[in-house]
Chains A and B, each alone.
Chain A
Amino acid sequence: MSIALEEKSVVTDLQTEAPTFEEAVAFIWAEADMLDRLDYKPWLKLWTETGKYIIPVDRDADYADALNIVYDDQEMRQARVKRLLSGFSMSSAPPARTVRTVSRFVVEARDETSITLRGAQMLAEYKYEHMRFLPADMRYRIVRAGNGSLRIDEKVVTLINADDFQFGIGYLL
């Protein structure tokens, strides 16, 4: 199953039909493939205008009032992608190579316009003689745009060791 990725990212009128489980999973796989391929510009278009990309430090935190590793709105996502692709950031030019899979999906919630899934991400990265493993619990809220394509409205990546030390991460999770 393939999902057409639309050019336009503004969601004006959400359709009443929530994405199905199968649609949502295929969409998440397409996103994971984009991230491993550093296809960041099209990735920006997968989001709703108000979408939040969150990588917390503490599980179960109230993210807005807590310190996070990432707490990106659209403007910060765009700035982040610009930085990662600029060639002037030594940690991302080049970044570590990554290979990730996302699975173990469970539907957490569903309403007229959205589906919320949780899942598991297994990501290996490699750079400078180091292989590191960054497993994470994932949560995605996915909606359908007015033209029928899917959009991420929230993505929360909770690393297995989120509240412990990390090494520098020069790519997107």
Chain B
Amino acid sequence: MNSTDFAALVKDDRVHTALYKDPAIFEEEMDRIFNSTWVWVAHASDVPAKNSFKTSWVGRQPVIVTRDREGKVHVLLNRCRHRAASVCEKKKGKASVFVCPYHGWSYDVDGRLRKVPHAKGYDEAFDTSEFPLISLRTEEYHGLIFATFKQDIEPLADFLGPARKWIDLFMKQGAGFGVKTLGEHRFRFPGNWKIQLENTTDAYHFPIVHKTFLDSLDAETENVFDVLGQGGWVEDLGNGHSVMVMIPDLIDLEENLDAPIPDRFAALAEELADEGYPDDQVRRIVRAVGGSGFNLNLFPNVACSMAFFRVLRPVTVDETEITHVAIGMDGGPVAGNRARLRLHEHFQGPMGFGTPDDAEGWERVQRGARAGDDLWIMLNRGVDAPDGVAEAGHNAGDVSAETGMRAAYQMWKRMMSA
């Protein structure tokens, strides 16, 4: 299949079913997309101090994210340059050196090959500087760390473009403290990665798939989660990125701080006040504790989704791993972070009140896509966005529009036919 063939599989309002199930297309995606653009690998708080590290992925390739003695972040392929053994199998931790367990080659946290045991067995021309761990180009925006194999790609800030404004808004849920990762749920579903990519910009499914989550809320909170009924919108931010605003009142968490504290957070507000936090700070923490009122979908693998980071990793054409990273306040009140953890557990993760139904829905998509080889996935939903909300010049639709999916697939088409 060549570039022209790929382009023909994506139309303005639909994509071909083969995109979910053709292994040959999947192989090309790994090369043309995941090896060729900025891919999210970590949050800065995952590597908080010098010599701290976290293992992660760029597409199908395992990497180590490290912070060196000068505070610089590196993203290194997790593969010894000798005979390929992985040099780190921990999720995160501290290390000043990575030693290959097979023959003992040791690497600095910036990737440099430090020492080779029994070096006399190599001839004199052997130069350790030729065999560092392979280092990816790495850049960071507002704590989000991205890496890429493509050395000549545009700067991360340009790649994110108008999405940066929404990242800045999202990070306000640090409530004056920094944002810090608190833990993560990982789960897989037997389906293609793009089914999940679509879902983060799909408000249409929410009241149907998540009826039982909504039923578990008090009336006031259920109104907050009436995501289709609040004048929200979906906006194409370019480069496959999009934002879906579901709760316009919660776009800017530093506004409306005088609003009454919702009943469900009254106990938390009281606890914070008892701990001595002044009223304005209590209001700021409480307003931010449930997260932002939008999902920012960044092509191809991460979303800033209300109160957490959603990270996807393609495993095979019909298997995808999702990580839901809980976030909280770095150095903020324990009670506030505890509340955030419980809210995260309520919806997210393999036994949350939301995630298992999402996962089942996505599996049903993959199962259903076995039928109808000539059929298309329809992405034609949407009417105009409410007046005056989307940025002038941006393509936008109402909150339940499939605008964000169309944006992602146009980027897919651009990259697959480049």
Give the interface of A toward B (CB within 8 A): 55, 57-58, 64-71, 76, 79-80, 82-83, 86, 88-92, 128, 130, 163-170, 173
- For B357, list chain A residues within 8 Å (CB): 89-91, 168
Q: Which of B140-148, B333-341, B410-418 contacts A (4 or more CB under 8 A)?
A: B333-341
Asked whether, in the complex, the Cβ of B351 is within 8 Å of the Cβ of A86, the reply is no
Which of A57, A82, A163 counts the most B-chain CB atoms under 10 A from its CB? A57
B138 to chain A, nearest CB (A): 25
B interface, size bucket: 35 or more
B21 to chain A, nearest CB (A): 16
B344-401 interface (Cβ within 8 A of A) = 344-346, 349-351, 353, 355-357, 359-361, 363-364, 367
Asked whether, in the complex, the Cβ of B321 is within 8 Å of the Cβ of A67, the reply is no
Summarize A's interface: helix, strand, loop or mixed: loop
- For A64, list chain B residues within 8 Å (CB): 338
Asked whether, in the complex, the Cβ of B359 is within 8 Å of the Cβ of A68, the reply is no
- For B342, list chain A residues within 8 Å (CB): 71
How distant is the Cα of A46 from the Cα of B338 in the complex, in angstroms?
27
- For A82, list chain B residues within 8 Å (CB): 212, 215-216
Q: Which 4 A-B pairs have the closest CB atoms?
A: A67-B183, A168-B356, A168-B359, A166-B350
B185-202 interface (Cβ within 8 A of A) = 185-190
Asked whether, in the complex, the Cβ of B186 is within 8 Å of the Cβ of A164, the reply is yes
A173 to chain B, nearest CB (A): 8
| Chain A: CB-nearest residue to B346 | A76
| Chain A: CB-nearest residue to B352 | A69
Asked whether, in the complex, the Cβ of B189 is within 8 Å of the Cβ of A167, the reply is yes
How distant is the Cα of A63 from the Cα of B117 in the complex, in angstroms?
43
Q: A57-B184, A168-B187, A170-B360 are in contact. List 11 more A-B contacts (CB 8 A).
A: A65-B341, A67-B344, A68-B341, A76-B346, A82-B215, A86-B212, A90-B361, A91-B356, A164-B186, A166-B186, A168-B357
Give the interface of B toward A (CB within 8 A): 91, 182-190, 209, 211-213, 215-216, 321, 326, 334, 337-338, 341-342, 344-346, 349-351, 353, 355-357, 359-361, 363-364, 367
How distant is the Cα of A83 from the Cα of B350 in the complex, in angstroms?
15
Asked whether, in the complex, the Cβ of B356 is within 8 Å of the Cβ of A169, the reply is yes
Asked whether, in the complex, the Cβ of A80 is within 8 Å of the Cβ of B341, the reply is no
B352 to chain A, nearest CB (A): 8
How distant is the Cα of A18 from the Cα of B291 in the complex, in angstroms?
45
A to B CB contacts below 8 Å, 27 in the list: A57-B185, A58-B183, A65-B334, A65-B337, A65-B338, A67-B183, A68-B341, A68-B345, A71-B341, A83-B215, A86-B212, A89-B356, A90-B364, A91-B357, A128-B367, A165-B186, A165-B187, A165-B188, A166-B187, A166-B350, A167-B188, A167-B190, A168-B355, A168-B356, A168-B359, A168-B360, A170-B360
- For A166, list chain B residues within 8 Å (CB): 186-188, 350
How distant is the Cα of A124 from the Cα of B167 in the complex, in angstroms?
42
Asked whether, in the complex, the Cβ of A67 is within 8 Å of the Cβ of B182, the reply is yes
Which of A69, A91, A164 counts the most B-chain CB atoms under 10 A from its CB? A91
How distant is the Cα of A19 from the Cα of B216 in the complex, in angstroms?
35
Asked whether, in the complex, the Cβ of B341 is within 8 Å of the Cβ of A91, the reply is no
| Chain A: CB-nearest residue to B184 | A67
Asked whether, in the complex, the Cβ of B212 is within 8 Å of the Cβ of A88, the reply is yes
Asked whether, in the complex, the Cβ of A168 is within 8 Å of the Cβ of B350, the reply is yes
- For A70, list chain B residues within 8 Å (CB): 345, 351
How distant is the Cα of A13 from the Cα of B402 in the complex, in angstroms?
58
Asked whether, in the complex, the Cβ of A71 is within 8 Å of the Cβ of B345, the reply is yes
How distant is the Cα of A50 from the Cα of B25 in the complex, in angstroms?
53
Which of A67, A92, A164 counts the most B-chain CB atoms under 10 A from its CB? A67
How distant is the Cα of A88 from the Cα of B216 in the complex, in angstroms?
12
Asked whether, in the complex, the Cβ of A67 is within 8 Å of the Cβ of B345, the reply is yes
| Chain B: CB-nearest residue to A92 | B356
